[in-house]
Amino acid sequence: MTSERLVIAMDGPSGSGKSSVAKAVAQHFGLAYLDTGAMYRALTWYCLQQQVDLTDADAVLAAAQNFPLSQGTTADVEMIEVDGVDVVEAIREPRISENVSAIASNRGVRDLLINMQRDAIKNSGYRMVAEGRDITTVVAPDADARILLTASEEVRLARRGLQLGGTQNNEQLAQQVSARDAKDSKVNNFTEAAEGVTLVDSSDLNFEETIDAVIKAVEEARQK
């Protein structure tokens, strides 16, 4: 086992393949994995469960300050609990996708979760793939490899539709993907690669090809 540090930061819009590709890349390099979007989703679930008014920024922040989150950091088993309740499936439901931007646009909430994310990277011994919207730019701008994973809107909508098993119509998918990205873009720029960030466009790549492209980008960044 090597203990050489390897922090890989990955950002991108909804449905670009961040979670699935990041997990595969973590397994390839033998790294821990952090899904930061799951943290914002779990906090949304908690606020809804606590009947917090999502338009009340102070109430949302108060909930975040007492957020009883427990999250695993292995790529092969997803573990997310809030106050002992398994929320792995619940946080992917459309009602969460539709409300999560209200939580993620709260500055105080972001500061709290960003600190938790930096702690997670440190606790991994700096051997982790972390993915989200602001990992390459805010959470870990000092990562050893920084990647922006994109795909055309059409491709991302189609992927999300398939992933949700055809349960959502086009309008619902557009709300959960395009409209959410538009809201999230007001907080972070995850459509253009910042300086030093490698862009991987997966529009014309299948899953395996995308993983290979990211691994190649990581290897290249490590040699710099």
- Tell me which residues touch ligand YYY (CB under 6 A): 14, 18-19, 36-38, 40-41, 100-101, 104, 132-135, 180, 184, 187
- CB 15 to ligand ADP: min, Å: 5
Pairing of strands 198-201, 145-150: parallel
Q: Tell me, what DSSP letter sits at residue 30?
A: T
What type of residue is 202? S
Spatial separation of the C-alpha atoms in residues 75 and 140, rounded to whole Å: 19
- CB 183 to ligand YYY: min, Å: 7
In 45-69, which positions are buried (b, 16+ CB within 10 angstroms) versus exposed (e)?
bbbeeeebebeebeebbebbeebeb
Q: Which does 133 bind (CB under 5 to 8 A by kind): ligand YYY, ligand ADP, none?
A: ligand YYY
- CB 211 to ligand ADP: min, Å: 8
Residue length of the chain: 224
Residues 6+ apart with CB under 8 A from 59: 52, 53
- CB 181 to ligand ADP: min, Å: 10
Spatial separation of the C-alpha atoms in residues 12 and 134, rounded to whole Å: 9
Annotation-wise, does 122 bind a ligand?
Answer: no
Closest by CA position to 74, among listed 22, 130, 32, 128: 32
Spatial separation of the C-alpha atoms in residues 179 and 182, rounded to whole Å: 5
Annotation-wise, does 124 bind a ligand?
Answer: no
Which residue's CB is nearer to ligand YYY, number 8 or number 38? 38
Which residue's CB is nearer to ligand YYY, number 93 or number 219? 93
Given the rule CB under 6 A, which residues bind ligand ADP?
12, 14-21, 159-160, 163, 202, 205-207, 210
Which residue's CB is nearer to ligand YYY, number 43 or number 213? 43
Spatial separation of the C-alpha atoms in residues 24 and 48, rounded to whole Å: 32
Spatial separation of the C-alpha atoms in residues 197 and 217, rounded to whole Å: 10
Annotation-wise, does 166 bind a ligand?
Answer: no
Which residue's CB is nearer to ligand YYY, number 58 or number 182? 182
- CB 204 to ligand ADP: min, Å: 9
Annotation-wise, does 224 bind a ligand?
Answer: no
Residue of minimal Cβ distance to ligand YYY: 37
Which residue's CB is nearer to ligand ADP, number 63 or number 103? 103
Q: Which does 159 bind (CB under 5 to 8 A by kind): ligand YYY, ligand ADP, none?
A: ligand ADP
Known binding positions for ATP: 12-20
